[in-house]
A and B are shown apart, each in its own frame.
Chain A
């Protein structure tokens, strides 16, 4: 067991390093940030001064080396646009993305899992059709269409909810619905297929033969096993939700991580972009590691895999 964990951790570290190299190189391929920061009318001396200030004139490997050592220390560089350490700006906004993701995630679980179970257990009923339609909308219609429609209906026409911004519970409702719908649909589909799978399995057949009441069969045996892959995937989905809410955050003026990435890229603030993408990757790798370990604890066969 320990060996397994150590192996996975080592792999994660390597992954992170590769990630950092990729990001580092790609970011520098975008052009000369010193020029953009100094402005179109700046003279060459002014641009050179900026370049020196930010250490952009050192050779690439040196820049990368200090990038890595600084990151390990928690220093993700200095945002050109915000004039603050990237880490500070990031931490300032992370809670908002976390809140949004948590609510959206909760919605996706609360709606997706029961819907999936119901569809698997009672495929003939009208409810399965309804759930399917809702799920299909989630994966077929882009989330910004959903978001705009929500604003039009609930904020402008009905005046029930505020249009945008962050800070109050009311402002949380629409963005989390728009964000969570897709994942609710995905959860539903996965739960459904997982349940179907498990219910066809030997264990369930045996339980039925033994005369165990149906609801215990479903609730206790089938569900527990069906949920394992669902929840392990859910973990990563949550991290994804935190990071990809770029479009939602733009529309609802929700100052989170996604919006930060977009701003950073638009303004060529490459320390910021570097930092945010790196943190996203770090989160994903970390959650994957945890999920793997949890999965290994639950299912011993996995430990033996390479």
Chain B
């Protein structure tokens, strides 16, 4: 999902009918019951499982992820090779249990992924709605800034910001950086939607009724872009997680010794060269699963909530 097109032309017939009747469309949560009948159970199960693992990590992990397993100094093989079932998947290059680190890593990767998406989404929502609704000079200025930031390819921008601002806030530095890199995508797309929403009768009615701009934005605009926002968000989580892994590879991701999956893969590259593939596979599989699940979810949301939003 390198770039998102901005030409969305929404023609929801239900909305049209409502316009004619002069009524507000039903809020999205009313539709939820209908939607869930067709949900992708696999994806939801995976995400739920990840959440459980993240929350209950201290109880699930056999060892402390930050301390070496007693007696281990560096990479050791999985239990079926060494016979030592104390460390099922073996240890990493510092002698720490891989399974425990993967389990605790769920917390970090999910937190970074979701938080980064939230930061990006919130900022993007705010800017997109304000720009789209207020229009005029505000819109032009904001969108030019968005364009300028969008013009810098994501990885380079992230690397750049990571180098500039470093790890001052530990994990949260990465979250802020990821937010800074991705908010522009939300802004662009949501602003496009708001532009067309703005012309609709229910908004006009509210304006005529004397509602303030902020009230309209809050009560009418934002709820109606929630669909698109959710789709974008679910698709962004995977991208964010992968980008964090890339940053860790380059040495500027979540700071060690935190067991982020991305860092683990980066550290496991060298044993991979020596023929040991498990230290890479162990964190790579959860990443793939997580991204897979969120992508499925996002795809499904996209089709169900707004089938004509093809360009997301």
- Asked if B34 lies at the interface with its beta carbon under 8 angstroms from chain A, I say no
Which of A137, A233, A301 has most chain B Cβ within 10 Å? A233
CA distance A258 to B275 in the complex (A): 28
CA distance A194 to B287 in the complex (A): 27
Which of A136, A282, A302 has most chain B Cβ within 10 Å? A136
- Asked if B272 lies at the interface with its beta carbon under 8 angstroms from chain A, I say yes
The reply to whether A26 and B160 contact each other, CB–CB distance below 8 Å, is yes
Shortest CB–CB separation between residue B108 and chain A, in angstroms?
16
CB-based nearest B residue for A237: B2
The reply to whether B246 and A237 contact each other, CB–CB distance below 8 Å, is no
Q: Which residues of B lie under 8 Å from residue A156 when comparing CB positions?
A: 273
Also in contact, A137 and B272, with CB within 8 A (given A11-B147, A244-B156, A250-B250): no
The reply to whether B273 and A152 contact each other, CB–CB distance below 8 Å, is yes
The reply to whether B160 and A149 contact each other, CB–CB distance below 8 Å, is no
- Asked if A284 lies at the interface with its beta carbon under 8 angstroms from chain B, I say yes
Shortest CB–CB separation between residue B66 and chain A, in angstroms?
23
Residue from B2, B246, B287 in contact with A247 in the complex, judged by beta carbons closer than 8 Å: B246
Shortest CB–CB separation between residue B92 and chain A, in angstroms?
16
- Asked if B144 lies at the interface with its beta carbon under 8 angstroms from chain A, I say yes
- Asked if A246 lies at the interface with its beta carbon under 8 angstroms from chain B, I say yes
Q: Which residues of A lie under 8 Å from residue B155 when comparing CB positions?
A: 244, 246-247
Stretch at the interface among A35-43, A52-60, A140-148: A140-148
Residue from B7, B151, B249, B289 in contact with A285 in the complex, judged by beta carbons closer than 8 Å: B151
- Asked if B24 lies at the interface with its beta carbon under 8 angstroms from chain A, I say no
- Main SS of the interface on chain A? helix
The reply to whether B3 and A236 contact each other, CB–CB distance below 8 Å, is yes
CA distance A306 to B279 in the complex (A): 52
The reply to whether A18 and B148 contact each other, CB–CB distance below 8 Å, is yes
Mark interface residues in A275-306 (1 if CB within 8 Å of B CB, else 0): 00100111011001000000100000110011
Residue from A19, A140, A143, A243 in contact with B287 in the complex, judged by beta carbons closer than 8 Å: A140
CA distance A30 to B249 in the complex (A): 21
Q: Which residues of A lie under 8 Å from residue B284 when comparing CB positions?
A: 141-142, 145
Shortest CB–CB separation between residue A22 and chain B, in angstroms?
6
**A: contact size bracket:** 35 or more
Contact residues, A1-27 vs B (CB, 8 A):
11, 14-16, 18-19, 22-23, 26-27
Residue from A15, A16, A19, A148 in contact with B272 in the complex, judged by beta carbons closer than 8 Å: A148
Residue from B145, B159, B289, B311 in contact with A261 in the complex, judged by beta carbons closer than 8 Å: B159
Number of B residues near A (Cβ < 8 Å) is 49
Shortest CB–CB separation between residue B167 and chain A, in angstroms?
14
Contact residues, B254-290 vs A (CB, 8 A):
262, 265-266, 269, 272-273, 275, 280, 284, 287-289
CA distance A27 to B149 in the complex (A): 15
- Asked if A172 lies at the interface with its beta carbon under 8 angstroms from chain B, I say no
Which of A18, A142, A261, A306 has most chain B Cβ within 10 Å? A142
CA distance A115 to B149 in the complex (A): 33
The reply to whether A281 and B161 contact each other, CB–CB distance below 8 Å, is no
Mark interface residues in A42-85 (1 if CB within 8 Å of B CB, else 0): 00000000000000000000000000000000000000000000
- Asked if A186 lies at the interface with its beta carbon under 8 angstroms from chain B, I say yes
Q: Which residues of A lie under 8 Å from residue B120 when comparing CB positions?
A: none
Also in contact, A247 and B153, with CB within 8 A (given A26-B161, A140-B288): no
Q: Which residues of B lie under 8 Å from residue A151 when comparing CB positions?
A: 273
Q: Which residues of B lie under 8 Å from residue A258 when comparing CB positions?
A: 156
Shortest CB–CB separation between residue B138 and chain A, in angstroms?
14
The reply to whether B152 and A19 contact each other, CB–CB distance below 8 Å, is yes
CA distance A233 to B246 in the complex (A): 23
CA distance A247 to B243 in the complex (A): 11
Q: Which residues of B lie under 8 Å from residue A99 when comparing CB positions?
A: none
CA distance A145 to B267 in the complex (A): 11
CB-based nearest B residue for A282: B151
- Asked if A197 lies at the interface with its beta carbon under 8 angstroms from chain B, I say yes
Mark interface residues in A126-165 (1 if CB within 8 Å of B CB, else 0): 0000000000110111111100110110001000000000
Shortest CB–CB separation between residue B270 and chain A, in angstroms?
9
Mark interface residues in B3-15 (1 if CB within 8 Å of A CB, else 0): 1010101000000
- Asked if A89 lies at the interface with its beta carbon under 8 angstroms from chain B, I say no
Which of A144, A151, A229, A266 has most chain B Cβ within 10 Å? A144
Q: Which residues of B lie under 8 Å from residue A16 when comparing CB positions?
A: 148, 151
Q: Which residues of A lie under 8 Å from residue B159 when comparing CB positions?
A: 246, 261-262, 265
Q: Which residues of A lie under 8 Å from residue B152 when comparing CB positions?
A: 19, 23, 277, 280-281, 284
A-B contact pairs, 9 of them (CB 8 A): A11-B147, A29-B165, A137-B288, A144-B265, A186-B1, A186-B2, A240-B154, A265-B160, A284-B151
Residues in A lying within 8 Å of B, measured CB to CB: 11, 14-16, 18-19, 22-23, 26-27, 29-30, 136-137, 139-145, 148-149, 151-152, 156, 183, 186, 193-194, 197, 229, 232-233, 236-237, 239-240, 243-244, 246-247, 250, 258, 261-262, 265-266, 273, 277, 280-282, 284-285, 288, 295, 301-302, 305-306
Residues in B lying within 8 Å of A, measured CB to CB: 1-3, 5, 7, 9, 144-145, 147-156, 159-161, 163-165, 195, 238, 242, 245-246, 249-250, 262, 265-266, 269, 272-273, 275, 280, 284, 287-289, 291-292, 295, 308, 310-311
Inter-chain pairs besides A144-B246, A246-B246, 5 sampled, C-beta below 8 Å: A23-B152, A29-B165, A145-B265, A145-B284, A284-B153
Report the 9 A-B pairs with minimum CB-CB distance, sorted nearest first: A18-B148, A140-B288, A281-B151, A140-B291, A19-B148, A244-B155, A284-B151, A15-B147, A142-B245
